[in-house]
Amino acid sequence: MRTCFNAALLLMFAICGGRAANRVSTDNGRIILEDSSGHRIALTQTGLDSDPWLSPDGQSVVFLRRSAEDMFCTSVYEIDMRTRAQRLLFSGPAKSQTSEVSYFGRPELDAPRKTLFLLSKEYATEGTLLAIRLADGQVRSISDHVVGYDVIACRKYRGDLIALKRQVDVLGRPYYLYWLYSSSGEALGLAGGDELDVDALRDGGCEVQAEEKTWEDPDDKEL
C-alpha cells in the first residue's frame, strides 16, 4: 500500500499587470496567436497543424504537424516566439506497449524544457501518456487509459503530472478519475474526481489541503 493525496483545491487567479495572457488556438490547420487586445495572427500556414500549447512564460509554442501523406503520422514542432523560427522537436515513432506509435496528441514541455510529454493515440478517446527526453529521444511510458493531462504548476506538486484516466466499473460502465504522477512516471496517488479544480493545479494559483489515505496503483485495477 502507498500514500496518496485527496486534494481539496481553491482557485486563485493572478493576472500580472492587469492584462490577459496570450492564447493559442487552431484554425483550419493553422496555429493562431491571439493577444490580450484580441488581435489574431497566424503563426503557421501549412493547414496541417493542431494541438498548440503555449509555454507559461509565453516564449514558445509547441504544436503537432501531421504528414500530408498520412494523417496518422504526426511530428512535434516548436516556435520561438521571439524570432518566430520553427524547429522540429520530435518526429517519432515512439515505442509504446511494445508497438511503435506515430500518432500523437497534447504536446507539453516540462519547466526545464528537457522533457516532452505526449499522448500516444492508440484509441480515439484515450491513449498512453509518454515522456520523451529531448536530449536523446528516450521514451518512458507513464500511464495508459489517459484521456487528458497537465503539468502541475502549484508549488506543492510543481513539475508533477495530473492525468484524467478512464476507469470501468463492474458493469462495464466507464467513469473518470484524476491521478497524480511524478515527471519520472512514478504513481503518486488518487487526486480526485469531478470536484478537483484542475485549473488551479495547472495555473499555480492554488492552496492545497491534503488528506492522506491508502490506495492501490490504478494500473493494477483497470480493465
Number of domains in the chain: 1
In a domain, 222, yes or no: no
Q: Of 194, 177, 88, which Cα lies nearest the Cα of 132? A: 88
Cβ atoms of 156 and 187 within 8 Å: the answer is no
Nearest by Cα to 70 from 92, 52, 42, 87:
92
User: What is the domain extent for residue 188?
Assistant: 2-7+17-217
**Hey, is 177 helix, strand or coil?**
strand
Residue 12 located in a structural domain: no
Dihedral sign, Cα of residue 199, residue 205, residue 211, residue 214: positive
Q: What's the grid cell of residue 97?
A: 506497449
C-alpha closest to that of 141 among 171, 98, 96, 181:
96
In tens, the pLDDT along 33-50 reads 998 888 999 999 999 999
pTM of the model: 0.78
Q: Which one has a higher pLDDT value, 18 or 187?
A: 187
What pLDDT shows up at residue 96?
Answer: 65
CATH number at residue 206: 2.130.10.10
- Percentage of the chain beyond pLDDT 70 is 80
Cβ neighbours for 76, distance < 8 A, ≥ 6 positions apart? 62, 63, 64, 65, 88, 89, 90, 91, 104, 107, 116, 118
| 69 contacts: CB under 8 Å, gap ≥ 6 | none
